[in-house]
Amino acid sequence: MTFTKIAIIYKAPHLSFEQFKAHYEISNVPLVKSLQDERYAPLLYKRRYIKLNTESKSPGFDAITELVFKDESTYRKWEAHLAEGDRDKRIFEDSLTFTNGEKSGYLAIDEVIE
């Protein structure tokens, strides 16, 4: 059974939405991918950005990231690998430049698909 982590991400207040999205796609995602061990890489690394129009009310957050792994054990190995050396520090420091770390967070989810 796959294991899924969801991140609810709030942009840093000093950035426009476009700057936030560009940094995430051009800097952060490639950084994480360059530091991960491909043996434990997610099967899916999907980013969804909130698209607002004049009729919709903002949910407050700016993006949802979905990471799907083969299983929870694979996720734990991926996470442990990224915590080695200065990898986690590099990812954390980059995240501080474009996200609101006080509001953003990850959670595991169970899925039912019909």
* Any domain includes 65: no
* Any domain includes 41: yes
- Per-residue pLDDT at 60: 81
Chain-centre distance for alpha carbon 86: 19
* Any domain includes 66: no
* Any domain includes 113: no
pLDDT mean over 29-40: 97
Range of the domain at 23: 3-60+73-104
Average pLDDT, the chain: 92
* Any domain includes 7: yes
- Per-residue pLDDT at 51: 83
pLDDT in tens, 62-95: 999 999 999 999 999 999 999 999 999 999 999 9
- Per-residue pLDDT at 53: 64
pTM, two decimals, is 0.86
- Distance between CA atoms of 21 and 90, rounded to whole angstroms? 19
- Percentage above 70 pLDDT, the chain: 94
Examine the pLDDT at 102 and tell me if it is beyond 90: no
Burial of 87 (0-12, 13-18, 19+ CB in 10 A): middle
* Any domain includes 114: no
- Percentage above 90 pLDDT, the chain: 76
In the chain, what is the greatest distance between 2 CA atoms, to the nearest angstrom?
A: 47
Domain count of the fold of the chain: 1
Pairing mode, strands 3-9 and 105-109: antiparallel
